[in-house]
Structure 1
Amino acid sequence: MTTKTAHIVAHSHWDREWYLSFEKHRMLLVQLMEDLIETFENDPEFTNFHLDGQFIVLEDYLEIMPHRSNQVRKLIEEGKLIVGPWYILQDEFLVSSEANARNLLIGIQASEQMGGYAKIGYFPDSFGNMGQAPQLISQAGIEVAVYGRGVKPVGFNNEIQSGNEHTSKYSEMYWESPDGTRVLAILFANWYNNGMEIPVEPEKAKAYWAEKLAAAEEFASSSELLFMNGCDHQPLQKDLTQALKTATEIMPDVTFRHSSFPEYIQALQKAKPQSLDVIRGELRSQWTDGWITLVNTASARVYIKQQNVKSQTLLEKVAEPLAVMASLSTGIYPRHELLYAWKTLLKNHPHDSICGCSVDEVHREMMTRFAKSQEVAEAISVQSARTIAESVDTSGFDADSALPFVVFNTSGHRRSNVIVTRMDVERRYFDHQPPHEKYQEFKREYETFDSNDWVVLNAEGKQVEAVITPVGPTFGYDLPDDRFRQPYWAYQVDVELHAQNIPGFGYHTFALMPQSVIGESVLSELNTPELVTEQQVMENDYVRIEIAGDGSFTMLDKVNGRNYTGLGIYEDTGDIGNEYMYRQPDQEAPLTTQGLPAQIKLVHHTSLKAVYEIVHNWELPVGADELLDEEIRSMVPFRYRKSRRLDETREVSIRTELSLEKTGRSVGIKSYINNTVQDHRIRMLFQTGLEASHVTVDSIYELAQRPIQPEAEWRNPSNAQHQNAFVSISNGREGLTIANKGLNEYEVLANQNTIAVSLLRGVRELGDWGVFATPEAQCLGQHILEMELISHDLDVIQSDAYVQAYQFPVPWTVQQTSVHGGTLPATHEFLQWEGDHLAFSAIKRGESNDDMLFRVFNVSSETTSLKVTPSFEAKEVYESTIVEEQGETMKVADEGSYVLNVGPAKIQTIGIQPTTRLI
C-alpha cells in the first residue's frame, strides 16, 4: 500500500538571455524543443512538459522552426505541452504595475491562440515577489501561485514566530494580497531542480530518492510531494520514463508519477492539508540574513533601468492615452502597433535581463529593443497628437498672425507645471532650390527678430505668463500622405510657460502671437516675483532652497515650517560584489562631498523657473586592487572577499542642476556624472530628520509600508530595497517624497533617517555560478540621473503627494497647429474621473474589442468612491479586470456619471463601450 505520491514535473527553466547571448541560448532552446517533439512521438509514457510558464519561448522557437507550428499547437491542445500564462517571466519589482499586467494579458491571449494555457501564477525565480500578485492572478481566474523566493520555510519542528507573515511551516500555504485576495501558494522549498537528473541505475536511484524524498517531506503539508525534473536551460531527460519505472521497482510504497502542475494541484487540494499558514503582502526575503536577496540588481546597470522607465512611460502614459483620445475622433486605434511595442519592451523584462545581471552582449541588445519600443510609441504619440490638434477649433485666434499649439496632459491626474516647447515661427520650403542659399536668406530676414515682441494667449484670449527665447533656423521636413517629402527651414523659438490645471485626459490650447496685433486690453501686468532672492537662494511662495558652499542644500517648507538640512550630499563607497549583490570592502569609510567645495552658479533664471548649477570635481579611488581579480578568478564568494580600493585616485566630475518652479513645494534634481572610476557605488543622501518607523514605497499596484529597521535575522550591513516611482517618509505631520526616473534602489540610514538613493553602481563580474567578466557593468562614461524632492504635509497618501510623484516621469505633449475650425473645443477633457486616494494606471482600447479600458488602484487601506464621466456617449459602462473580461454593468448615477466603490488596495478596471465603433 502506497503512503505517498511523488509528482515529477518535467520542465526546463528558460532564461532567454543570461550568461550567453539571446541567440546562443535560442540555439539550445531549438535543440530542447526538437528533442521534446521527438520524445513525445516515440515515448507514449512521456505525458507532458511544463514550458516554464512563459509563452515567449514558443515564439523564439517557431521563429527559427516555423514548420513546427502545427505540431506545437497539437501538443498544447492535447495537454502535453503546458504553456503560459505569462508572456515572459519578469522581474516583478523592476517593471511597472502595467507591465506586470500586460505581461499576463498578452501571455494569456497568445497562449489561447495556440491551444490553451495553465492557470498557474508561475514565479519560479523572481528576485522577490510583489504583494499584489494574488489579486493580479486572481483577476485572471488563477487561484494558485508557484514561486521560489521571498518566503522562508521553517519545517515541522519549528514554531511560527508571532506576527511573522513571511515564514511558513510548510511548502504549501495561502498568500494574501493587501486587498484580501487569497490564493493557494506553493513554494519551491528545495528549489525548482529537486527532481532533476533522476538515475536509472537502481543503486544510484535508491540513494537519490532516499535523499530527495526526505528533503521534500521536511516541508510538505501532505503526502503529495512535488519534484521538479529540470533546472536552468536543462536538456530534456529522455530516459525519464525508465527512471520512474526504476523508482517504482525499488520503492513500491511510493507512487511515482510523471505528473503536471494541474495534476499535482488537483491531488494536493483533494488531500485537504490542514493548518496551512497565511503569508501576506510582499515577499522580499525579509526574514533572512539579507545576503542573498539579489536586491542590488536594482542598481546594476542603471542605464538599463532608465531606458525601461522611459519606454514604459511612453507607452502607458503617453502613446495609449493619446491614441484613445484620437480614436474618439477618427474611429481608428493602433492596436497592433501598440502590441508590437509592448511585446518588444516585455522582451527586456525577464529577471536576468532587466535586472542587469547578464553578460555585456545581452544588455547591448536590450538597448536596441528599448529604442525600437520607444520609436514606435513616439510615432504613435506624434500622429495621435497631430490628429487631435487638427480637430481642435482654433478659430478664436487671429487667423493672420496666431501660431496655435495644444498642450496635452496624459498623466491621468490634473496637472500644473512649467513646460518648454519648441515652435516654428515660420517655415520656408526649399524643394528644388539650393538649401544653403535659402538658409542664408532666411537667417538674414530674422536677424532683427525680437522675442519681447511676442506673447502667449490662452483659449480665452488672456495673456499667459511666458518666456520666449530665439533658437534660429532649423532644418525640418514633412512627410505628406499624398506627396513626396517636403524639406524646409524653420525659424524656431523656445516657449516657456506655466501650464496650469490641465485635465488628466485632456488639453488646453494656446497661441504664440505678436504684441502688435493684440489690443492693450488683452495685455496684462503679470505678477512676476523673483525666484532668486539672494546669492545661492531660490524661493517661491511655498519653499526656500539655500545652497551651501559644498553643494548640499537646505529646504524650508514655508507652508508647514519644516526645515530640512544637509540634502543632496553625494556618497561614494567601494563595491567588490557583483551584478547581483553590493559588497563594500571591509572597514572602508564612505567618501562624501560634505565639506568639499563646489562651483556654484545660476544658469537659468526667468519669472517661471530658476536653475542653479553645482559642480564637484571629486577625486575618487580608480578601482579595486589586483586581489579582486584573483578572488573573482578563484570564485571566492563575494561575502568573504578581502579586496580593498586602491590609493590612486582619478577625477570624477559631477554637475548637479537644482531647479525651482514658480509654484509648487518641490525641487528638481538632475545629476550629470562622468564616471571615470571602477568598482564603486554613488548615492545621493537626503537627511530627513523625521521620526518614523517605516517608509512608504511605490511598489506594484500598491504603496507598500516597509519598516526602516530590518528584521532580527538580518545580517547584511546594507539594507537596500526596491522602489519604483518614489520613496517617502513622514512623521505624520510632515513628509518628504523623493520621486525618480529609473533609480530603483534606496536605503534608509540610521543617521537622521537619511534616505540614500543609488545613482550609479559599477562592478566587474556577473557573479552567481561561474566566472563571467562584465566590463560594461562598470558603467563608465556620462550618466544623467533625475529626481524630484517633494515636501508635503501629512504622509504621501493623505497629502496626495503620490500624484505628483507619479507624474514626474511623464512628459508633456505639445502639438503646434494652425488656425482652423474643428469638432473639438479649444479646451477639453475626454474622460473625467475623481476619487480620493486613487492612482491612475492605464487607459487603452481592448485587445479583443473596441471598448475603452480605464484602470486605477486604491493606494489606501480604506474603501473609496470612483466617479467616471465620459465626454462621449457610452452604450455601456461595466466593471472589468486585468485581462479585460466584462463584469457587472454599472448604472448611470447622475448627468452621465457612473459611480463605484473601490475597496482597500483594489485594482479597479472600468470598461466603457462607446456608441461609435472603430473602423
Structure 2
Amino acid sequence: MVPHTHWDREWYKPYPAFRMQLVELLDILLPTLAEDDSYAHFQLDGQMAVVDDYLEIRPERRDQLKELTRAGKLTMGPWYTLPDEFLVSGETLVRNIQLGLRKADAFGGAMEIGYLPDMFGHVAQMPQILAGFGFADAVVWRGVPAAIAAPAFDWEAPDGTTVRAEYLADGYSNGARLPDHGKDLVDQVEAFRAAQGPLVGDPVLWMNGTDHQLPQPWLGRVVAEAAEASDAYAFEVTSLAAHLAAAPRTGLPRWQGELRSGARTNLLMGVASCRVDVKQAAARAERSLERTAEPLAACWLTPDHWPGTFFDVAWRDVIRNAAHDSICGCSADEVNDAVLHRYAESTRIAESITERALVRALAASRQAAIAVNPTARERAFTATTVVSGDVAPPHSQPLSYRPARRRVATVSRTEAVAVVLRAAVEDAKASSASLAAADDGSGDWIATVVTDRAPKQIDANALRTQLEELAANDPGGRVHVELLRPAASMEVMFRSAPVPGFGWRGLAPADPGQHTVRAEGQGLTNGLVTVMPDQTTGTFSIDGIEGFGRLLDDGDVGDTYNWNPPANDHLVERPHDVDVMVTEAGPVRGRIEIVRTYRWPTHGANDHRVGNADVAVTTVVDLHAGEDLVRVTISFDNVVTDHRLRVHLPLPEPTDHSVAECAYGTVRRGLTAEGGPTEAPLATFPSRRFVSAGGLLAVHEGLTEYELVDLDGEGDDARAHQMAITVIRSIGILSQGPMTMRAVPAGPPTLTPDAQMPGRHEVSLALHLGGRDPYAVADDAFTAIETVRIPGRGGLGDPEVHHQALRVDGAEVTALRRTDEGRLELRVVNPTDESSTLTVSDRTGELMDLRGRPTGEGFDGALTLGPWKIATIVL
C-alpha cells in the first residue's frame, strides 16, 4: 500500500484555490507522519512544485519536511511538475526533472523513479531520458497497448535504452477508497485481482490516493485489521521505491517506442488541439528560450555576464505551464489566462536576454549591422532593415519609404516645456535637441529635435532647465518647435548570404541569382517552387499538385479532452465567395492573398448544428527568393462555436504512415489508432514542430494535431491521400460524459466559454515538397536569424566579414548554455536511424549524464552517436 495524493496545481479550479486545499492536506499529513508509526510513508505525487507552493504559505515547516524526507517517511520529486510529454519540447522535459531534482536535494533527495501517473500518453524517448538521470524504473498508466498483458514490461527507447515500466492497469487510484473496516479492504483487493487478472502483480500494488485526496488517518488501523482478517495477504504500508526494489525484473514483455493506446483507459487525444493559443504560446516561449536566447547568450555574453537567474525564472514558468492540465488546455478559463501570462513573461525575459547578447555581438563585430545565427547549421535567410536614402540597394525589395521631413509648430514658451521635452525625451527616434534664439530680431526662439534613430545624445535635465528659464522670463513668448528628419530612409527586404552556425555575418543583400521571385500568370515562382492559386476554390497548387489550403469545418459537441461530432453534422468546405490577389511580386518576396467567405453554422444543438454566420478567412501565401518552402498564414475572426476547423493538404504520393517530431526525435505512425471500450480509436496524433507524409513536410507553430485522411483500400493496403491539420477546435465545457467518442467523463462539467476560442486567430505553417532535413526546414521557417544594427549608420554591414563562435556538425543541437561554473554545455541528439559523428571544432571536454554528473568519458572533439542517441557534453 502506497499512500499518496495526485495533485493538479491548477485544473477545474485555479492554482490559488487548489493551494488552499494543498495547505490543508499537508497541515494534516505532517503531524500524522510524525506521530503515527503505522502511517509509515506518504508519496507527494512525484513533483516538487507542491513543496514550493506549500512552503510559500508555511515557511516554518521546511525543517519538518526535511526530517520526514530524510527519515524515509515522505517522498517527493523527481519532477517539478507532472508534464504532458507530447506538447512540450524534449528540453522542457529535461529541465523539468533537473529543477525537481535540484529542489529535492535540499530535503534529502528525490524519489529515484520516473513517475508518470497521469500523462496522456508517453513519448518514445522517455526511457532514454529517464535512464539519463539514472532511473531504472518508470511507472505508467495511460497509453499502454493491449499487447502488454502483464503488470510490468521492459520499455525500450528507439536507441535501445530500456527501463522497467510498472503498469498501473487501473490507474493511480485503485486503493483510493479506503474502507472503515479491514475485512472490506481484503474484499477490495480480491475484487481488484479478479477484475484485472494477469495485469496484477505479486505483491499487489495498492495506490492509496487520488486527485487532491487528503490523508486518511485511519489507514494504520484498517491495515492491521485486514492483516488479521486474511490468511492470504500480508499488508504493508510502504514506498513505491520499496515495492519496485522487490518486483520481478526478468521475463517481462517488451515494448519499443511511444505509448499512445486507448485499449484500457482513455488517452484523451483531443487535448492536442484544445486552446490553440496555449500551444502557440508554448512553441514561441520554448523557441525563444532554448533555440534563441540561451545559445546567443552562451556565444556572445561572457561567463560573468551569464544571466542564469533570469533564465531560471523564465524556465520555471515554462515548466509550471508544462503540467499536463495546463499545457493541454483541459482546465478552467481562469487557468488558461494564467498559463498564457506565464508564457508571455518567460518569452519577454528570453527576448530581453537576446537583445543584450545581440548588442554584445554587434560591438565585437565592429560592423554597422550584422545578422546573428542562433542555430548550429549555416543558413541564408530573408532579412528586413532600414537603410538611408531614397534608392533601394541592389538585390533588395522596398517595403516602405520615409522621406526627409521638416515640421514646424509654434507654441508659447510655457507650452514649449512640455512639447519639446515630449518630442526630445519620450520619442525613441530622437537623437539630439537644441535651443537657440532666432536671428531675425523677433525675440522668438527655435527648438530643434532631430529624429534620425541615431544614438540619443540629449541631456534631458539641462534641456528642461533652459526651457523653464525661457518660460519664466516671458511666458507668452513664442517658440518655433522644429522636428527634423534630415535624410530619407526606407525599409527594404533582401536575401542574405549564409550566416555561419552560432556566428554572425555583416548584414547586406546577396544576389539570389536565378532564384528571385517573379509573377507567373496569376501565381508566383522562384525557380525552386511554383505556387498557383485557384480562383474558384481559393486553394493553391505547389509545383502542379492542386488542393493545398482546403478548409473543412465540422461540428464539435465534445469537450476539452475529445473531439465529438454531432450525430447529424453539417460539414462546410466550399466558400460562397473567393477573392484572390497577388499583393507582392518579388523579387525577394512574393505574396498571394486569398480571402474566402464561408457560411458556417453558429452553434451546436444536441445532435446537429444550427444557425449560420458568414466568416471571412484570409490565407496569405508567401514565397521567398532562394527558398524551397511555401509559407502559409491563415487568419479569421471566430464568431461561431462548437466546431473544428482543419486545413487539408494533398500528399504528393499516397502513403500508409506519417513521421512526426516528438521529444528528441521523430516517430513513425500508421493510419489507425488503438481504442478501447471507453474511447474511440481516433487517429489524430500530435506533432511537436513538424510532420511529414507522402513527400509532404508541414512545419508549424503550435498546430500540434494532425491526421492522415482521404483513405482508400482497407487494412494493410490502406493509403492516405491528404493530411489534415487542426487550425482551431471550439468547445464550451471542460468535460462531459457519455458521448460518442468517449463513454465516461474525464473531469467535472465546468463550463469553459473561452475554450470556444472567440475572437481573432492567426496560425502559421510552412510546406516543403522533397526530402530536405525537416529540422533544417523547421529552423528556416520559424527560428529567426536575428539582425542588429547601429542606428543612423546606414543599416548595412560588410558581408565579407563574418565570425563563428562555435562549430558543431553531425547532430541536432537541442541546447547550448553555460553551466553554473561558466563552462559551455552542449546537448545533441542524432534523430536518425543511422550512426553519425558529432564534431565540435577546436574544443574538448567531457560527457555528462542529464543530472550533470560526469560519465567518465572524455570528449576530444568528435563522438560517434548511435541512432536516436542523446548526448550532453561540457566543453
- Of the structure 1 ranges 856-865 and 228-237, higher mean CA displacement relative to structure 2 is found in 856-865
Residue 68 of structure 1 deviates from its aligned partner by 1.2
Q: Match of 1:831, SS?
A: coil
Aligned mates of 2:338, 2:576 — CA distance in 1: 39
| CA deviation map 1:573-623 (0-9, x unaligned) | 000100000011124252113x64411112233310011111112110001
Residue 467 of structure 1 corresponds to which residue in structure 2?
none
Aligned mates of 1:486, 1:880 — CA distance in 2: 58
Q: Which amino acid aligns with 1:832?
A: R
Residue 885 of structure 1 deviates from its aligned partner by 2.1
| CA deviation map 1:729-783 (0-9, x unaligned) | 13xxxx1100000010000003452000000110010002332110000001100
Aligned mates of 2:462, 2:266 — CA distance in 1: 57
Contact 2:636-2:762 at 8 Å conserved across structures:
yes
| CA deviation map 1:436-474 (0-9, x unaligned) | 6669999999xxxxxxxxxxxxxxxxxxxxxxxxxx969
Residue 326 of structure 1 deviates from its aligned partner by 2.0
Task: Identify which of 318, 343, 347 aligns with 1:374.
Answer: 347
Contact 1:688-1:736 at 8 Å conserved across structures:
yes
Residue 243 of structure 2 corresponds to which residue in structure 1?
264
Task: Identify which of 193, 201, 219 aligns with 2:173.
Answer: 193
Residue 840 of structure 1 corresponds to which residue in structure 2?
813
Aligned mates of 2:675, 2:242 — CA distance in 1: 39
Q: Which amino acid aligns with 1:700?
A: A
Residue 579 of structure 1 corresponds to which residue in structure 2?
560
Q: Does 1:703 align with 2:666?
A: yes
Structure 2: gaps spanning 5 or more residues: 390-403, 407-415, 432-449, 465-482, 712-719, 736-745
Q: Does 1:736 align with 2:696?
A: yes
Residue 828 of structure 1 deviates from its aligned partner by 1.0
TM-score (norm: length of structure 1) = 0.81
Task: Identify which of 295, 298, 313 aligns with 2:287.
Answer: 313
Task: Identify which of 305, 308, 332 aligns with 1:332.
Answer: 305
Aligned mates of 1:489, 1:706 — CA distance in 2: 62
**Cα distance, 1:891–1:251 mapped onto 2, change above 3 Å:** closer
Q: Does 1:365 align with 2:362?
A: no
Residue 866 of structure 2 corresponds to which residue in structure 1?
903
Q: Match of 1:598, SS?
A: strand
Q: Which amino acid aligns with 2:698?
A: I
**Cα distance, 1:436–1:475 mapped onto 2, change above 3 Å:** farther
Q: Match of 1:31, SS?
A: helix
Contact 2:523-2:582 at 8 Å conserved across structures:
no
Residue 50 of structure 1 corresponds to which residue in structure 2?
43
Aligned mates of 1:701, 1:300 — CA distance in 2: 24
Residue 93 of structure 1 deviates from its aligned partner by 0.2
Aligned mates of 1:579, 1:698 — CA distance in 2: 23
Residue 538 of structure 1 corresponds to which residue in structure 2?
524
Contact 2:91-2:815 at 8 Å conserved across structures:
yes
Task: Identify which of 236, 239, 252 aligns with 2:218.
Answer: 239
Q: Does 1:343 align with 2:308?
A: no
Contact 2:376-2:809 at 8 Å conserved across structures:
no
Aligned mates of 1:866, 1:759 — CA distance in 2: 37
Mapping of residues 721-800 of structure 1, within 5 Å: 721-730=685-694, 735-751=695-711, 752-767=720-735, 768-793=746-771, 799-800=772-773
Aligned mates of 1:904, 1:657 — CA distance in 2: 39
Aligned mates of 1:407, 1:442 — CA distance in 2: 23
Q: Does 1:858 align with 2:826?
A: no
Aligned mates of 2:190, 2:855 — CA distance in 1: 50
- Of the structure 1 ranges 482-491 and 346-355, higher mean CA displacement relative to structure 2 is found in 482-491
- Of the structure 1 ranges 432-441 and 407-416, higher mean CA displacement relative to structure 2 is found in 432-441
Aligned mates of 1:55, 1:525 — CA distance in 2: 54
Residue 532 of structure 1 deviates from its aligned partner by 3.4
Task: Identify which of 139, 142, 149 aligns with 1:146.
Answer: 139
Residue 136 of structure 1 corresponds to which residue in structure 2?
129
Task: Identify which of 875, 883, 886 aligns with 2:851.
Answer: 883
Aligned mates of 1:525, 1:280 — CA distance in 2: 49
Task: Identify which of 168, 184, 194 aligns with 1:204.
Answer: 184
Residue 427 of structure 1 deviates from its aligned partner by 14
Contact 1:325-1:830 at 8 Å conserved across structures:
yes
Contact 2:301-2:360 at 8 Å conserved across structures:
no
- Of the structure 1 ranges 707-716 and 540-549, higher mean CA displacement relative to structure 2 is found in 707-716
| CA deviation map 1:819-861 (0-9, x unaligned) | 79x9x994111111211xx322111112x43221112211111
Q: Which amino acid aligns with 2:662?
A: S
Task: Identify which of 406, 409, 412 aligns with 2:376.
Answer: 412
Aligned mates of 1:415, 1:35 — CA distance in 2: 58
Aligned mates of 1:887, 1:56 — CA distance in 2: 29
Contact 1:413-1:840 at 8 Å conserved across structures:
no
Residue 401 of structure 1 corresponds to which residue in structure 2?
none
Residue 55 of structure 2 corresponds to which residue in structure 1?
62
Aligned mates of 2:733, 2:496 — CA distance in 1: 47
Q: Match of 2:235, SS?
A: strand
**Cα distance, 1:614–1:298 mapped onto 2, change above 3 Å:** same
Aligned mates of 2:859, 2:189 — CA distance in 1: 60
Aligned mates of 1:78, 1:431 — CA distance in 2: 70
- Of the structure 1 ranges 596-605 and 14-23, higher mean CA displacement relative to structure 2 is found in 596-605
Task: Identify which of 272, 276, 280 aligns with 2:256.
Answer: 280
Contact 1:216-1:226 at 8 Å conserved across structures:
no
**Cα distance, 1:473–1:749 mapped onto 2, change above 3 Å:** farther
Aligned mates of 1:484, 1:865 — CA distance in 2: 61
**Cα distance, 1:406–1:771 mapped onto 2, change above 3 Å:** same
Q: Match of 1:259, SS?
A: coil
Aligned mates of 1:801, 1:744 — CA distance in 2: 16
Residue 274 of structure 2 corresponds to which residue in structure 1?
300
Residue 201 of structure 1 deviates from its aligned partner by 2.2
- Of the structure 1 ranges 567-576 and 369-378, higher mean CA displacement relative to structure 2 is found in 369-378
**Cα distance, 1:814–1:510 mapped onto 2, change above 3 Å:** same
| CA deviation map 1:102-155 (0-9, x unaligned) | 1111111111123201110011000000111110010100010001111145xx
Aligned mates of 2:515, 2:748 — CA distance in 1: 61
| CA deviation map 1:471-528 (0-9, x unaligned) | x969999799x9999999988742312123212211112269xxxxxxxxxxx99857
**Cα distance, 1:806–1:150 mapped onto 2, change above 3 Å:** farther
Contact 2:429-2:454 at 8 Å conserved across structures:
no
**Cα distance, 1:511–1:534 mapped onto 2, change above 3 Å:** closer
Residue 880 of structure 1 deviates from its aligned partner by 2.1
Contact 1:880-1:886 at 8 Å conserved across structures:
yes
Q: Match of 1:180, SS?
A: coil
Alignment length (residue pairs): 792
| CA deviation map 1:782-801 (0-9, x unaligned) | 001000001114xxxxx323
Q: Which amino acid aligns with 1:235?
A: L
| CA deviation map 1:81-114 (0-9, x unaligned) | 2011111100000001111111111111111123
Q: Which amino acid aligns with 2:321?
A: N
Aligned-residue CA RMSD in angstroms?
3.3
Contact 1:422-1:494 at 8 Å conserved across structures:
yes
**Cα distance, 1:685–1:888 mapped onto 2, change above 3 Å:** same
TM-score (norm: length of structure 2) = 0.85
Residue 551 of structure 1 deviates from its aligned partner by 5.0
**Cα distance, 1:87–1:319 mapped onto 2, change above 3 Å:** same
Structure 1: gaps spanning 5 or more residues: 1-7, 154-166, 395-403, 446-471, 513-523, 558-562, 628-642, 794-798, 893-897, 913-919
Contact 1:550-1:596 at 8 Å conserved across structures:
no
Q: Does 1:676 align with 2:639?
A: yes
Aligned mates of 1:121, 1:682 — CA distance in 2: 37
Contact 1:405-1:814 at 8 Å conserved across structures:
yes
Aligned mates of 1:376, 1:479 — CA distance in 2: 28
Residue 614 of structure 2 corresponds to which residue in structure 1?
651
Task: Identify which of 32, 42, 46 aligns with 1:39.
Answer: 32
Q: Which amino acid aligns with 1:573?
A: D
Q: Which amino acid aligns with 1:688?
A: L
Contact 2:125-2:664 at 8 Å conserved across structures:
yes
Aligned mates of 1:784, 1:98 — CA distance in 2: 26
Aligned mates of 1:486, 1:366 — CA distance in 2: 45
Contact 1:507-1:828 at 8 Å conserved across structures:
yes
